């Protein structure tokens, strides 16, 4: 895929290469929202193709779209389209690429999805093993048993 | 192909997620999932970021040095554990829970500031929240300790019953920095808005005098919103400018804001004055300047009159954001609105469960209330009949609040 070099630096294009080889042409100002990419550019000014080894093409496409479109409305609807697995991979991508707005948005979305669920449900959905040692488990039990105290004066 | 391994999520991300949970109970569950999740979450106390733990009351008198602790209370709908549900349909329980001034977990009247009375069981009694289905309905912040129910009994002079609803939101101006900050918004007794930001020592009373006093504040989609007694609604910008959200509707005496099904509703309360009483020697302290009290209608600085008002009916409006107008709603459908002193929320009737929605559950102020009444003081306004009924006349509804359902083992 050939890149275009344009006169004005604001419309200079960069190529990002996802882990599965998919290539994305993005404008420089979009790519700069990814602080990791920015650091790359700062280091080697002439770079034209930047490898993104941790992120699949599918997720990189979503991330780029987010950067282009982000605003209050878009963010509110954004997270609803993705399942839990995609959410996690998107979060890891946002974290690696250092895009704080997307990271916040995704953390908030994940919190919302697990908010009213029990630890057992969360473990099931996220496929996590409860690896607490018996001592830790006992400590936790103590922590989350809430004591009520009756209102004494009556 | 990458398989999402959640337990290996980097610690800093787990911490951000845990911060966004915004509720002690949910965080406890978060932490009990597995050890790496557990070691990542360090919830800030009260979830107020970069604010002190004690606050003065808002006052024009800047020599005010007395401060009072702030308490966060959460309102939950609790359902019994699944295995118990095979028996007859079991009532959920609507509770408000939070710490009291002595750090004890306590139950509070869901619609007012006082403690839930008459919990008679022996101490200590353990209630395992991790086994139940908890649904968070809302939360509130209260500054000051309110151990006693009735303001005209002797009570700790540490409180101000004139302290109005306090809401907290994130300071967007600082969102670029590492440390995010919370901001508190409330209404000063003069009817103006007051703000407390990170680094402040006193509340900043916003100088703009609206044509009508503000009567309610809320946070909607992360933004602080205030409404005055005529219904004129504004949003507080990050530079503390006030931008119009909706024009006034006039109508009744007091306006409230409630979020319901993702939209913002206005509740307009019509009240009648049914009596009054004098309160003496309330303000010998310098918490309030004379001018604060005069705007409230005080006679002199030690003796003032409190009117006793009772609601007679309510109108509900939904917001048309584009036209900046409140549009009257004649039917709430399946929704039940709850109007508390410091928190308002909406629940679907089918979740409560109640046969019909389309009603509003509220509590008139404590002033003038029968001191020996054993009830919760909660009433229900039915929009279809345009009628107010006491909670006791709707047993299914009344059972939501008190006594605790049998399955809790607390009765």
> For residue B181, what pLDDT is reported?
81
| Contact yes or no for A100/A70 (Cβ under 8 A) | no
Q: How does B340-372 read in b/e, with b if 16+ C-beta sit within 10 Å?
A: bbbbbbbbebeebebeebbbbbbbbbbbbbeee
How far B184 CA lies from chain A's nearest CA (Å)? 21
B39 in A contact zone (CB under 8 Å): no
Residue A56 has its nearest CB partner, among B2, B105, B115, at B2
Name the residue among B13, B32, B119 with its Cβ closest to that of A151. Answer: B119
A-chain CB neighbours of B83 within 8 Å are none
Question: Count of CB contacts below 8 A, A vs B?
Answer: 141
Locate the chain B residue with the closest alpha carbon to A55.
B2
- What was the ipTM of the complex prediction? 0.73
A89–B2 C-beta distance less than 8 A: yes
Give pLDDT, residue B152. 44
Of A119, A136, A149, nearest to B29 by CB-CB distance is A119
Neighbours of B334 (CB within 10 A): 15
pLDDT of residue B72: 87
**Whole-number pLDDT of residue A60:** 94
* Backbone angles phi and psi of B80, in degrees to 5: -65, 160
Instruction: Give exposure, B99-130, as e/b (b: 16+ Cβ within 10 Å).
Output: bbeeeeebbbbbbbbbbbbebeeeeeeebebb
Q: Is B199 on the interface with A (CB under 8 A)?
A: no
Exposure string of B19-29, with b = 16+ CB inside 10 Å and e = fewer, is: bbbbbbbbbbb
pLDDT at B392: 85
pLDDT tens digits for chain B (411 residues)? 344 566 667 777 877 777 777 666 666 666 777 777 777 665 445 667 778 888 888 887 766 677 888 888 889 888 876 665 555 567 888 988 887 777 777 788 899 887 765 454 433 455 666 667 778 899 999 888 755 444 444 444 445 666 889 999 987 655 555 567 889 999 988 889 999 998 888 899 998 877 899 999 999 988 999 999 999 999 999 888 999 999 999 999 999 999 999 899 999 999 988 777 665 544 444 444 444 444 444 444 445 566 778 899 999 999 999 999 999 999 999 999 999 999 999 999 988 878 888 999 999 876 555 545 556 788 999 999 999 998 888 888 888 888 788 777 665
β-pair partners for B90: none
Give the whole-angstrom CA distance, residue B162 versus residue B311.
19
Question: What's phi and psi for B106, nearest 5 deg?
Answer: -135, 160
Rounded percentage of chain A residues whose pLDDT exceeds 90: 26
Complete DSSP assignment for B284-321: -STTS-HHHHHHHT-SBTTEEEEEEEEEEEEEEEEEET
* pLDDT at residue A149, rounded to an integer: 40
Chain B residues touching residue A130 (CB < 8 angstroms): 33-34
Q: Is B8 on the interface with A (CB under 8 A)?
A: no
Shortest CA distance from B12: residue in chain A? A95
CA-to-CA distance for B253 and B213, rounded, in angstroms?
Answer: 11
Of B21, B105, B116, the CB nearest to A151: B116
pLDDT confidence of residue B405: 81
Is there a contact between B9 and A91 if contact means CB atoms under 8 Å apart? Answer: yes
Output the DSSP codes for A18-63: -TTS-EEEEEHHHHTTSHHHHHHHHH-TT--EEE-TTS-HHHHHHH
Higher-confidence residue of A91 and B160: namely A91
Test the A interface: residue of B11, B22, B32 with most A CBs within 10 Å: B32
What CA–CA distance (Å, rounded) separates B370 from B1? 69
Residues 16-35 of B with CB under 8 A from A: 16-23, 26, 28-35
Residue linked to tokens 């008139």: B364
Neighbours of A81 (CB within 10 A): 9
B161 Cα to chain A: minimum distance (Å): 21
**Chain-chain contact of A154 with B410 (C-beta, under 8 angstroms):** no
d(CA B278, CA B299): 10
Please state the pTM of the whole predicted model.
0.71
Question: Burial of B244 by CB count in 10 Å (0-12 exposed, 13-18 middle, 19+ buried)?
Answer: exposed
Whether B320 contacts B244, CB under 8 Å: no
Residue B157 backbone phi and psi in degrees, to 5? -75, 5
Asked if B135 has any chain A CB less than 8 Å from its own CB, the reply is yes
Above 70 in pLDDT, residue A128?
yes
Q: Do A85 and B26 touch (CB under 8 A)?
A: no
Burial of B289 (0-12, 13-18, 19+ CB in 10 A): middle
Q: How far is residue B329's CA from residue B164's CA, in Å, rounded to a whole number? A: 27
- Predicted confidence at residue B351, as pLDDT, reads 84
Distance CA B270, CA B235 (A): 24
Tokens 């129910």 -> residue:
B149
User: Residue B105: which of A110, A119, A146 has the nearest Cβ?
Assistant: A146
Interfacial residues of A (vs B; Cβ cutoff 8 Å): 56, 72, 76, 84-85, 88-89, 91-92, 95, 103-104, 107-108, 110-112, 114-119, 122-123, 126-133, 136, 140, 143-151, 154
φ/ψ bin of B103: left (φ > 0), alpha (ψ from -120 to 50), beta (otherwise): left
Is residue B54 within 8 Å of B152, Cβ to Cβ? Answer: no
Cβ atoms of A28 and A12 within 8 Å: the answer is: yes
Top-confidence residue, B147 or A121: A121
pLDDT recorded at residue B327: 97
């Amino acid at each position: 895929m050939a890149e275009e070099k344009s006169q004005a630096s604001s419309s200079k294009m960069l190529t990002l290469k996802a882990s599965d080889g998919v290539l994305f042409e993005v404008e420089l100002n979009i790519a700069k929202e990814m602080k990791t990419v920015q650091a790359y550019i700062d280091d080697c000014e002439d770079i034209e193709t930047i490898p993104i080894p941790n992120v699949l093409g599918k997720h990189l496409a979503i991330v780029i779209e987010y950067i282009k479109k982000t605003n209050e409305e878009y963010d509110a609807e954004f997270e609803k389209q993705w399942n839990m697995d995609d959410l996690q991979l998107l979060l890891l991508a946002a974290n690696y690429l250092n895009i704080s707005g997307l990271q916040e948005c995704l953390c908030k979305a994940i919190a919302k999805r697990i908010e009213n669920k029990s630890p057992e449900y969360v473990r099931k959905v996220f496929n996590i093993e409860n690896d607490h040692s018996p001592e830790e488990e006992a400590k936790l039990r103590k922590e989350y048993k809430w004591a009520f105290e009756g209102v004494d004066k009556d | 192909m990458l398989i999402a391994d959640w337990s290996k999520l980097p610690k800093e991300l787990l911490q951000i997620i845990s911060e966004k949970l915004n509720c002690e109970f949910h965080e406890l569950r978060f932490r009990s999932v597995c050890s790496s999740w557990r070691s990542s979450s360090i919830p800030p106390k009260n979830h107020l970021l970069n604010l002190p733990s004690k606050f003065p009351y808002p006052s024009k008198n800047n020599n005010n040095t007395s401060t009072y602790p702030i308490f966060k209370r959460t309102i939950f709908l609790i359902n019994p554990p699944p295995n118990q549900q095979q028996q007859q349909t079991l009532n959920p329980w609507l509770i408000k829970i939070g710490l009291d001034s002595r750090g004890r977990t306590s139950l509070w009247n869901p619609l007012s500031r006082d403690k839930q009375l008459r919990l008679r069981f022996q101490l200590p009694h353990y209630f395992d929240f991790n086994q139940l289905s908890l649904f968070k309905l809302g939360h509130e912040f209260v500054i000051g300790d309110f151990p006693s129910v009735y303001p005209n009994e002797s009570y700790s002079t540490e409180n101000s019953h004139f302290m109005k609803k306090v809401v907290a939101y994130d300071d967007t101006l600082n969102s670029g920095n590492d440390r995010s900050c919370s901001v508190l918004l409330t209404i000063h007794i003069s009817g103006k808005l007051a703000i407390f930001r990170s680094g402040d020592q006193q509340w900043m009373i916003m100088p703009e005098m609206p044509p009508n006093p503000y009567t309610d504040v809320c946070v909607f989609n992360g933004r602080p919103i205030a409404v005055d007694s005529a219904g004129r609604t504004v949003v507080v910008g990050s530079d503390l400018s006030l931008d119009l959200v909706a024009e006034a509707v006039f109508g009744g005496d007091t306006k409230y804001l409630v979020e319901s099904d993702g939209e913002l509703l206005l509740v307009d309360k019509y009240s009648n004055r049914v009596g009054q009483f004098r309160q003496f020697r309330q303000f010998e302290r310098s918490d309030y300047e004379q001018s604060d009290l005069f705007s409230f209608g005080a006679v002199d600085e030690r003796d003032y009159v409190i009117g006793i008002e009772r609601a007679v009916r309510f109108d509900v409006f939904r917001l048309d954001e584009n036209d900046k107008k409140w549009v009257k709603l004649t039917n709430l459908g399946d929704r039940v609105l709850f109007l508390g002193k410091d928190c308002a929320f909406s629940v679907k009737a089918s979740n409560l469960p109640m046969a019909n929605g389309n009603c509003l559950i509220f509590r008139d102020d404590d002033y003038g209330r029968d001191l020996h009444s054993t009830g919760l003081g909660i009433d229900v306004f039915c929009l279809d009949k345009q009628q107010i009924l006491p909670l006791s006349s709707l047993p299914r509804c009344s059972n939501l609040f008190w006594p605790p359902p049998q399955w809790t083992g607390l009765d």
